[in-house]
Amino acid sequence: MTLPTTIEEALPVGGVAAEAVAALTAATVIGTFVMLNTALAGPWAKRKITAAFTDRISVNQFGPLGVGIVVPDAVRLVSKELIVPEGADRPAWDLAPLVLVFSALFAFAVIPMGNGVHLADPEVGLVFVFAIASVASLGLVMAGYASNNKYAFLGGLRAVAQNLAYEIPLILVGISVVLYTGSLQMSEIVATQRETLVSLGPLSVPGWFAIVNPFAFVLFLVANVAEVGRNPFDVFEAPTEIVAGYQTEYSSVYFVLIYLGEFVHIFLGGAIIATIFLGGPAGPVLPGIVWFLLKIWAMFLFTQWLRSAVPRVRIDQLIEIGWKRLLVLAFVNLFVTATVVGVLAA
């Protein structure tokens, strides 16, 4: 049962109004929940994690472990001057940060987070996620092109090239999962993974697709890092090469929005991986939502780890890895999966 239905049933009245109120409330709850994670990740967790990798302490003055830094940082960021570059393509330039944030936020609508926190469960759930998430590319191009800045322009071009090269393998690997489940519905995908794969005495190994097909899992992981643009695939920001890429000209609130979009995207990547490879909210003892959080934060940690330890590849190497290696491997994976599924079904 999805969250809006739960709320609707709890309401004293029924009808269309109640349905609308329930839907809006549920959307607000989930949106706030995701944003809360992002707020923690951006000003606090990212700093703490990077500091841990580089033998530093980082923020420690506000609240326990410095987590209170979120508040002064938010105030600081929104109180900065918004500088609009001369010759910026106005509506596009203003819309780009919004597109970036909302493309990622919308996709969370179909992610089952456990304990009934699930906004909608359409039959085409997985397709919806990929479709909405890839709208972010549009935001990147808009930002890069509309800024009227050469660095932003280069960053925008890189972003298109990179997203084209990595979205196809990403979706191909996603399809191989669909072949297993026979359904695009998120709840169905999660349910399939709940079945026990093998039992070793008292222990039973669940049929998570990361365990069933680790090859696909690794492929997806790599493609996803490129998709969210983190090291070693952060060429469209590449601060030491093209300053900040597509976001060079954004300041103040727009800067916050772009960063928000990036972090929501990282969490979305984690959420997709958790859902289609790691059994969604499944896990022993703890409630589902906690497991779900653990999984997406683990993915966040993973991207930050890469960021501290892995060199950035060059743009031509990046494209080469995408088209010549990852795409081929993704097709191989799809072919093998299809064969195995076909044989098993027969």
Partner 1 sequence: MSLQRRPVGETPDGLDYDALAELLDGYVLDREQHLNCEAFVIRPDDVAAVLSTLRDRAAFDHLSLVTAQEYRDRYESIYHLKKYDDPTQELSLVVPTPRDQPHSQSGADVFDTATWHEREAYDLVGIEYDDHPDLRRILLPETWQGHPLSLDYNQDKPQIVPLREHANPMEGRTDVADRSDTMFINIGPHHPATHGVLHLKTVVDGEQVVDIDPDIGYLHRCEEQMCQQSTYRHQIMPYPDRWDYVSAGILNEWAYARAAESLADIDVPVYAQVLRTMSAELCRICAHLLAIGTFALDIYGEFTAIFMYAVTDRERIQNLLEELTGQRLMFNYLRLGGVAWGLPEPRAEYLETVRSVMTEFPDRLEEYHNLLTSNELFQMRVLDTGVLPAETAKSYGATGPVARGSGIDYDLRRDDPYGYYDELDWEVVTDDGGDNFSRALVRLQEMEQSARIVRQCVDVLADWSGEREIQSNVPRTVKPGGEVYRAVEGAKGELGIYIRADGTDTPARFKIRSPAFSNLQTLEVLAEGEYIADMIAALGSLDIVLGEVDR
Question: Which positions lie near partner 1, rule CB under 8 A?
Answer: 50, 53-56, 150-151, 154, 231-232, 234-235, 238-243, 304, 307-317
Ramachandran area for residue 111 (φ above 0: left; ψ -120 to 50: alpha; else beta): beta
Q: Where are the alpha helices (DSSP H) in 44-198?
A: 46-53, 70-78, 90-107, 125-133, 135-146, 150-181, 186-194
Minimum Å gap between C-beta 52 and partner 1 is: 10
Kindly report the length of the chain. 346
E-only strand ranges, the chain: 196-200, 203-206
Phi, psi for 196 (deg, rounded to 5): -75, 135
Minimum Å gap between C-beta 207 and partner 1 is: 34
Nearer Cβ to partner 1, position 293 or 315?
Answer: 315
Nearer Cβ to partner 1, position 181 or 231?
Answer: 231
Minimum Å gap between C-beta 77 and partner 1 is: 18
Of 39, 74, 239, 226, nearest to 154 (Cα)? 239
Minimum Å gap between C-beta 29 and partner 1 is: 33
Helix (H, G, I), strand (E, B) or coil at 206: strand
Distances (CA, A) of 296 to 180, 286, 303: 23, 15, 11
Distances (CA, A) of 165 to 228, 251, 295: 13, 29, 26
Nearer Cβ to partner 1, position 211 or 243?
Answer: 243
Q: Is 245 exposed, middle or buried (0-12, 13-18, 19+ CB in 10 A)?
A: buried
CA 95: distance to chain centroid? Answer: 20
User: In sequence order, what are the beta bridge partners of 200?
Assistant: 203
Minimum Å gap between C-beta 217 and partner 1 is: 21
Contact 130, 171 (CB under 8 A): yes
- What b/e sequence results for 269-293 when a residue is b if at least 16 CB atoms lie within 10 Å of its CB, and e otherwise? bbbbbbbbbbbbbbbeeeebeebbb
Nearer Cβ to partner 1, position 5 or 251?
Answer: 251
Nearer Cβ to partner 1, position 17 or 57?
Answer: 57
Nearer Cβ to partner 1, position 90 or 150?
Answer: 150
For the chain, what is the radius of gyration of the CA atoms?
21
Minimum Å gap between C-beta 291 and partner 1 is: 28
Minimum Å gap between C-beta 147 and partner 1 is: 14
Minimum Å gap between C-beta 272 and partner 1 is: 24
CA atoms within 13 A on the CB side of 151: 13
DSSP 280: T
Nearer Cβ to partner 1, position 189 or 242?
Answer: 242
Nearer Cβ to partner 1, position 32 or 308?
Answer: 308
Contact 123, 185 (CB under 8 A): yes
Nearer Cβ to partner 1, position 52 or 131?
Answer: 52
Minimum Å gap between C-beta 234 and partner 1 is: 6
